[in-house]
Structure 1
Amino acid sequence: MKIKEIKAYRMLQPFVDGPYKMSKGRHADAFDSIIVALTSDDGVTGWGEMAPLGTFYSAAFAAGAEAGVKEIAPHLLGLDPRALTQFNRRMDIVFKGHPYIKSAIDMAAWDLTARAADVPLVTMLGGSDGDMAELYKVVTHGTPDSMAAHATRIMAEGYKRIQVKVGGDVHGDIERLAAVAGVVPKGTVIFCDANAGWTPFQARQFADASRAIDYVFEQPCVTIDDNMSVRRSLDKPMVLDESVETLEALLEIHRRGAADGVTLKIARLGGVSKTRQLRDLAVDLGLLVTVEDTGGAEIDTAAMAHLSLSTPVERRLHAIAFHEWVTVRTASNMPPVVGSQMGVPKGPGLAIDVVPDLIGKPFLQLKA
């Protein structure tokens, strides 16, 4: 099997609920998605997707991904997509760094490989542990009253897990958390995500003032050193997200005991291949794991679902359904969401049926 054709698309995916707001005025109105299709010489097509959350969340932007895919794609024609290690090595040889650019391409190679083998992607990633993964929803940054109202709506939908955005003015965020905690039922799982917005001093202020509230602290500061300094005086669990960019970072987090769990973003790591590698290592090291991404619709959500459900249930934290965030569709079916849980569609590969007419004209089309 060899790659005969490569197509790539760029698609704006507006948010259903309006701007996605984080602290310090950071916000985005849509995912700016890059979608890649790899077709083999026997007519099988695999799909991949990546979408940065604006330009402020990760070291990634859609225009850079578009330009990078154009540079990398010609070097992949004629390769066997099933030889995933060699496939990724070729990308790294011809284009140094910039893992987010390679993410959708690698995802498409996994989808193509699994479809050709006529097995679900979750089987190739280690096998499914259960049928559904628990979902969480995000309470975006706003006034205490608006965040409390948002949390109330999420609870009314049947969700039991929320992520509360903090990381701005400390005293204001203390009020925001208290307002949200005051309206959700007892036992609701709350994550407080500062998105690396604080200094250690500010993070300690917040943690000290909110000791009476049960929550998981997520990425309060930028560096592993700073987060570790907060963790030494913290009486709550901690999860790191933005700090997990490489295998070396994951090993340092474990060696120093800097977190109880990690969030792995497919695009930040460079695709399904590297995400699976770090996921399996994190599980073996005893860390809790969330597998998600920086953004996307059905294609990317399907990849997150397959990676989540192939994570051992005792190490799996939760997942997120990005395709429910956006107003557009990319496929005729999608990862099934039942209440506050998500599964994988039935079928080979990612098991979704992408509809080319829904994603527009390709900005790149190459044939061997």
Structure 2
Amino acid sequence: MKIERIRAFRMRQPFVDGPYRMSKGRVADCFDSVIVEISAGGLTGWGEMAPLGTFYSAAFAAGTEAGVKEIAPHLLGQDPRALTQLTRLMDTVFKGHPYVKSAIDMALNDLTARAAGVPLVTMLGGREGETAELYKVVTHGAPDQMAKNAVQYIADGYRRLQVKVGGDVRGDIDRVTAVAAAVPRGTVIFCDANAGWTPFQARQFADQTRDIDFVFEQPCVTIDDNLSVRRSVDKPMVLDESVQSLEDLLDIHRKGVADGVTLKISRLGGVSRTRQLRDLAVDLGLMVTVEDTGGAEIDTAAMAHLSLSTPAEKRLHAIAFHEWVTIRTARNAPPVFGGSRMGLPDGDGLGIDVDTALLGNAFIDIKP
């Protein structure tokens, strides 16, 4: 089996609920997605990468588009099932920029599983349960509006909320207090600062919210700054933006910085490397969330397969990004049950039946 054709598309995916807001005025109104199609032996694999604006990760769609054009010609004629070999090849011909390689690697994984005639979850270690629990993001805003949104999400069936903080500390204390008071007791709350605070600010927040049950998520930028906060608070801590490589994961574990990690597929360079870090994190005893920076059905399917191949006792939760956007990329999608749990689409590979008519014109279409 040899790679015979590579196409790639760029797609704007507006948000259903309007602009996505984080602290410090960071806002995005859509995912800017790059979708990759790789064909070999009569089969097709799909991958997707979509950054959240230009402020969340060191990634942007225009960079992905340019990088895919550079990498794709080197893959023609290669065996798409040689995943480790192709990862090394991409790193050889295009140094760094893991986000550029993410959609390509996802498509290769999809194609490899389709060639084997199995769902991708099987090749990622085996299925652990029928569904993964979902969380909903309460984006940054006025305390009363955030509380109102949280109540609606609970009514929709969600039992896990990620509350955006990381701005003005006093205001964020009011925001989390309002949300916690508005939702039922037992609702799981993550306070996600998206690395927006100094250790001083994070300690201020923690000190004034001791009576609220929540998980602290990425309060500061660096691993060492988060460690200094960890030493002075009595809340569980999860790191997200700090996990950009295998070395980061080992550093977090060695220093005892966190109880869990959030692994972003595009930040790590694709499904292959995310699986590698996921398995190591599980072996190290960390709780794990596998997700990405954005996308529609293709990327959400990859997240679902990685989530449901994570041991259930080590899996935190997942997110259904395809429900965030107003457009469709496929005729099917990972099923969502009762607004709070997500399963896998039926079929080999990702299980996604992509409708190319929805994708627009390819920005690259190459053959040998």
* Range of TM-score over shorter length: over 0.9
Gaps of 5+ in 1: none
Which residue of structure 1 lines up, in the alignment, with residue 351 of structure 2?
351
Which residue of structure 2 lines up, in the alignment, with residue 36 of structure 1?
36
Q: Distance in 1 between matches of 2:244 and 2:233?
A: 24
Would you say 1:333 and 2:332 are equivalent positions?
Answer: yes
Would you say 1:342 and 2:320 are equivalent positions?
Answer: no
Q: Distance in 2 between matches of 1:353 and 1:359?
A: 13
Which residue of structure 1 lines up, in the alignment, with residue 282 of structure 2?
283
Q: Distance in 1 between matches of 2:71 and 2:367?
A: 14
Q: Distance in 1 between matches of 2:21 and 2:225?
A: 24
Q: Distance in 2 between matches of 1:232 and 1:343?
A: 37
Would you say 1:75 and 2:74 are equivalent positions?
Answer: yes
Q: Distance in 2 between matches of 1:56 and 1:257?
A: 28
Q: Distance in 1 between matches of 2:89 and 2:321?
A: 30
Post-superposition CA distance 1:197-234 (Å, at most 9, x none): 00000000000000000000000000000000000001
Q: Distance in 2 between matches of 1:83 and 1:68?
A: 21
Runs of 4+ with deviation above 2 angstroms: none
Number of aligned residue pairs: 367
Q: Distance in 2 between matches of 1:27 and 1:146?
A: 17
Q: Distance in 2 between matches of 1:152 and 1:78?
A: 53
In the alignment, residue 351 of structure 1 is paired with which amino acid? G
Post-superposition CA distance 1:87-112 (Å, at most 9, x none): 11110000000000000000000000
Which residue of structure 2 lines up, in the alignment, with residue 18 of structure 1?
18
Say which SS state the counterpart of residue 25 (structure 1) adopts. coil
**TM-fit CA distance, 1:158:** 1.0
5 Å matches for 1:213-228?
A: 213-228=212-227
Which residue of structure 1 lines up, in the alignment, with residue 180 of structure 2?
181
Which residue of structure 2 lines up, in the alignment, with residue 114 of structure 1?
113
Q: Distance in 1 between matches of 2:157 and 2:264?
A: 26
**Aligned-residue RMSD, C-alpha:** 0.3
TM-score (norm 1): 0.99
Q: Distance in 1 between matches of 2:201 and 2:116?
A: 52
Which residue of structure 2 lines up, in the alignment, with residue 364 of structure 1?
364
Which residue of structure 2 lines up, in the alignment, with residue 90 of structure 1?
89
Gaps of 5+ in 2: none
**TM-fit CA distance, 1:346:** 1.2
Which residue of structure 1 lines up, in the alignment, with residue 133 of structure 2?
134
Post-superposition CA distance 1:304-339 (Å, at most 9, x none): 000000000000000000000000000000000001
Say which SS state the counterpart of residue 122 (structure 1) adopts. helix
Q: Distance in 2 between matches of 1:144 and 1:359?
A: 38
5 Å matches for 1:302-317?
A: 302-317=301-316
Q: Distance in 1 between matches of 2:287 and 2:347?
A: 28
Say which SS state the counterpart of residue 349 (structure 2) adopts. coil
Which residue of structure 1 lines up, in the alignment, with residue 264 of structure 2?
265
Which residue of structure 1 lines up, in the alignment, with residue 228 of structure 2?
229
Percent identity of the aligned residues?
A: 77
Q: Distance in 1 between matches of 2:75 and 2:352?
A: 24
In the alignment, residue 287 of structure 2 is paired with which amino acid? L
Which residue of structure 1 lines up, in the alignment, with residue 206 of structure 2?
207
Q: Distance in 2 between matches of 1:362 and 1:44?
A: 18
Which residue of structure 2 lines up, in the alignment, with residue 165 of structure 1?
164
Q: Distance in 2 between matches of 1:159 and 1:6?
A: 39
